[in-house]
Amino acid sequence: MRIGSLGKRFGILLALFVLSSRGHGQVLIALLFGEKLNSGKLEFGLTGGLNLANISNIPDAKSRAGLNLGLFFNIKLNDNLYVHPEAIPKYPTGVSKVKPYSLNNPGLDSLLSSGDVTRKIKNIAVPILVRYRLKGQLFAEGGPQIGLRTKAKDVFESGDLTYENDIEDNITRFDFGFALGLAQRLRKEPGAMALGIRYYFGVTDTDKFDEGSQKNNVWQINLSIPVGAGKQKQTAQANN
């Protein structure tokens, strides 16, 4: 693969990343451009699954579940080594079942004191991973991940009463950490889907004001679906 061609494809990825700020837009983009982006050493597609997120040093907090959705490139360096960048505009983090805190409003504090709080944070995540073949179609993966916080709120719930508190000014705009995981391709052929499990551990203290270091950590289960790779294989065979 020529360097210029690879550079153009990365340029397309960045453009798609900007255009697909809403999760459902990524599906349409992948279907429209997937076939054009795939080649013998470059695989493009959709990735999605479950985030099980937590934040350190929040007393008694429970994990918060949410769905992730993104785009990926899988770049073959040799038979055992790949570079695997992703752009994930839908990447939820946060916690649930947090003890209510004071809103500096005695009336609200009294009404909400017996409930709990769910911290909902929306992010765009960009992991840049390296994948190494362990055996057969099983790969280990790891590398840095950058996160961009887009929205953040605490949702208070007590009985039928719900109150939302905007906390964007409290949460850092950027998050940085590392992701480690395993990915199992379901078939050997090009265009095969892959199941993966991944753990992200942040190193950024994401809360600007609360005491202690509050860092994101996320378990992620995902399914990667190449788009157009099978058609590329059929075209190559027809031309030979």
pLDDT band at 33 (very low <50, low <70, confident <90, very high): low
Question: Stretch 45-71: mean pLDDT, rounded?
Answer: 94
Q: Is the pLDDT of residue 61 over 70?
A: yes
pLDDT, mean of residues 8-24: 54
Instruction: State both tokens at 40.
Output: 């013998």
pTM to 2 decimal places: 0.83
The shares of helix, strand and coil residues in the chain, as percent rounded to the nearest 5, are 20, 55, 25
The tally of domains found in the chain comes to: 1
Long-range CB contacts (within 8 A, 24+) of 2-6: 5/39, 6/42, 6/75
Per the model's pLDDT, the better-predicted residue between 61 and 7 turns out to be 61
Residue 210 belongs to domain with CATH number: 2.40.160.20
- How many other CB atoms sit within 10 Å of the CB of residue 206? 23
Between residues 17 and 135, the one the model is more confident about: 135
**pLDDT value for 227:** 82
> What mean pLDDT is predicted for residues 20-30?
54
pLDDT higher than 80, residue 28 = no
- Is the four-CA dihedral 24, 14, 195, 62 of positive or negative sign? negative
> What pLDDT is recorded for position 235?
45
Tens of pLDDT, residue by residue over 93-119, are 999 999 999 999 999 999 999 999 999
Give residue 239's pLDDT.
Answer: 40
Structural domain of 149: 3-239
Q: What is the pLDDT of residues 160-177, one digit of tens each?
A: 999 999 999 999 999 999
Q: Is residue 24 pLDDT above 80, yes or no?
A: no
Q: Compute the mean pLDDT over every residue in the chain, rounded to the nearest whole number.
A: 85
Amino acid 236: pLDDT: 43
